[in-house]
Structure 1
């Protein structure tokens, strides 16, 4: 962890080494910015199990989602069609990843962020499943059309009208 005390000490050592004869000045440490991975909305269609996963590719995002969801490596109890629905091999065809550039760099999206990104979230007020077509972002909350207050609806209409 880099503290203010550490940075002051590093600056003092660097300056002091430049003052000593025959000693090369120490270069300041170069801190590389962490590589930002693209954000993907990953889940299964028609289900409200979607999460934001940061990964290089859609396939990597689905793989991370499957692992995080606890799917096993192989079929344990296959159904008559040969699929168990509980392993990553069976779920890999069902899970999808869609690029979500609005979530790049957002590692703790709020329900409002999901709605602003055009995605779905449960209503923070009544718990019903909703998406951007039937809900609004009210600050950090997602509020379905039924739960939006009259004052909030008026503010939304003013905002959409550009006022």
Structure 2
């Protein structure tokens, strides 16, 4: 996402809306992340699936329904990411023996390796941002964003 002329004018005045800045920063991170994934030969993996499903799976299988709130995406988006990761062979989806309506997700060996690669890439890119902007500013941004993300989510109408 490139800034528009209106965005540039806001930047010059120093008052671009915070959500626009957050979106632009996330877009920059995502583009760099995707470029590096491609270099690693992980073309089937997206930053959205990496930061949601892969990040929230651990050693034990997990119900898909419990991940919606953790991932911060809609059920539909999560289902699409699960389907993408399953078709890529990175996760296994099975029925929950205690409730056949529920789906259990687990990492495959390839998924575990992809998860490790994803975590390394997150750390590398963040390290580059720290080197460019300074650890004090990055940690300050992390504190502020954590506080904003911790606020109660408004109910949808």
TM over 0.5: no
Q: Which structure has greater strand proportion?
A: 1
What is the TM-score with the length of structure 1 in the denominator? 0.24
Q: Which structure has greater helix proportion?
A: 2
* Greater length-normalized contact order (CA 8 Å, ≥ 6 residues apart): 2
